[in-house]
Structure 1
């Protein structure tokens, strides 16, 4: 868990197949963000129970998960705004 939380890079090419549909891409991204949140939660739990003393690593993992979730929400809002704009267009 610490190796995943300690990685400094966010790699945009994590999606294995580029031929899949956009819904599959979004599912993959949501699962990745969920995994980050689970890792951060596990690290925080380990610190709280005294199994680990890596408070900084747990906080960094928590911030990464929070930032990823915020970015996902912003993407969702942009997509919904784009759909609303298309719906308001007159033909």
Structure 2
């Protein structure tokens, strides 16, 4: 019986230690080294990519409007801007689809 009592006392002391940790300050993240930057989250990265694609779309729209109104004769540049915008939008959709598929795969994982 003394072995069982020893194990119980050890478990009780570990439980007390864990409860003291839980009641104390929250666990703080590790300090960052000087000169290093914190990595942006996936949401911030996706938002940045979305804004870049939107900027490409606005630029393409402006160059096409300039050609249509006769302000510019750079039709080739307008078409290139339009293709860049289309390609960046398609790439963004592919990334979104891959992320969505990966999230679905994670959610379907058995526990």
Question: Which has the greater radius of gyration?
Answer: 2
String of CA shifts for 1:34-70, please: whole Å, max 9, x gaps.
0010000000000000000000000000000000000
Q: What is the TM-score when the length of structure 1 is the normalising length?
A: 0.77
CA spacing shift, 1:70–1:87, aligned 2, 3 Å: same
- Report whether the alignment pairs 1:70 with 2:90: yes
**Cα 1:25–1:18, aligned 2, differ >3 Å: closer, same or farther?**
farther
Cα distance in 1 for partners of 2:51, 2:104 equals: 26
Quote the residue 1:35 is aligned against.
Answer: 55
Gap runs ≥5 in structure 1: 1-16
Counterparts of 1:46-65 in structure 2, within 5 Å, are 46-65=66-85
Q: Please give the TM-score of this superposition, normalised by the length of structure 2.
A: 0.63
* SS at structure 2 position matched to 1:26: helix
Aligned residue-pair number:
75
Runs of at least 5 residues in structure 2 that lack an aligned partner in the other structure: 1-36
| Greater RCO (CA < 8 Å, at least 6 residues apart) | 1
